[in-house]
Structure 1
Amino acid sequence: MISFAQFSCNDDIPAASQDRFVDNLYGNTTGLELIIAYEQGADPYTSFGGFDNWRITDYNLNQLLGTQKIPVKVPHVLDSMKNLGVLSQNNYTRQNIIDIAADVQRYSNKDSVKSIVLLFLNGYLIKDGVIETRVLGLNIDGSAVVAIFKPVISASSSKEAEKNMVEQSTVTHEIG
């Protein structure tokens, strides 16, 4: 059995700006793309036991946005995701995450096609100067930026199936 209570998300960080992504999502959106980028060594799990893990995120986003008739594009294989290589820092502040996401983002999110940037990082969140070794993921509140901290996912279980489940559960939770 996995205990999610011991691993907290960290969604109490203030919004990057007053122009909140989520408030504008339903207005004039004609498409939503999930842009996934990963640091070398923090590759997202893509499948386990023949099951395509990203079907979970794809399904959940389509269920969430289906009533609005907003098509969703979710990459399912590493070749469709951006490899960031080895990044210079080992742990990440909120600003580090925003800066990395800005380099990956392809849309302004002010037009009709929008995106969420999902970063898989090979390190931990730094909050108030403290390295948070139990935070699985982070949604920069009000923005289209999500970070997953792969070392925490990897340490969540000794069983590969459970690690895959924890990762997809965290992605779903942080996207919202």
Structure 2
Amino acid sequence: MENNRFNFCPECGSKKIQTLLNGRQWFCPDCGLELFNNVASAVGVILENEKHEILFERRAKEPRKNFLAFPGGFCEPDEEPEKSVMRECSEEIGVVPEKIKFVGAFPNTYVYKKIIYKTCDMFYSASLPSGFEFKTQKSEVISLEWVKVESLADIEKIPLAFESAKKALLKYLEIKNAR
């Protein structure tokens, strides 16, 4: 895996650009530019049906194409995470979820086109509205799959795209079993 690096300062074009903090900060001694690759916010939503199966998307693009993930994605600037959940679900599966509840937040590493992004993935559970009909965004979703998830052993069998989703499922089961 390559480190995040620039060969030239994006401000002045100097070749003296320095990469700091493991590829998360850059400094140019010629123009004084300081650039930071800060943590990005992302969301995922756990949707469970009446058969106690969890909905997963089979990813249509990199990173982790063909692996399973929850409906979700990056938060837009100035967007509240719950609004991100509603927007991402509407875009990816054609349904706006209801009764959105926070499950937990977990760090993640998202590698896209050789650039390493650190994310804070916030997970929510939600309900599907009655009479819903899925309409998938083909550029994002190959297919939707319902999977029975009742234990760590079940989670280990799922080809999850991201480690944070595994942690979210474990937390979700913990909350669900405490009821």
Q: What band does the TM-score fall into relative to the shorter chain? A: under 0.3
Which has the larger share of strand? 2
Greater relative contact order structure (CA < 8 Å, 6+ sep) = 1
Instruction: Provide the TM-score with structure 1 as the length reference.
Output: 0.28
Which has the larger share of helix? 1
Structure whose CA Rg is larger: 2
Instruction: Provide the TM-score with structure 2 as the length reference.
Output: 0.28
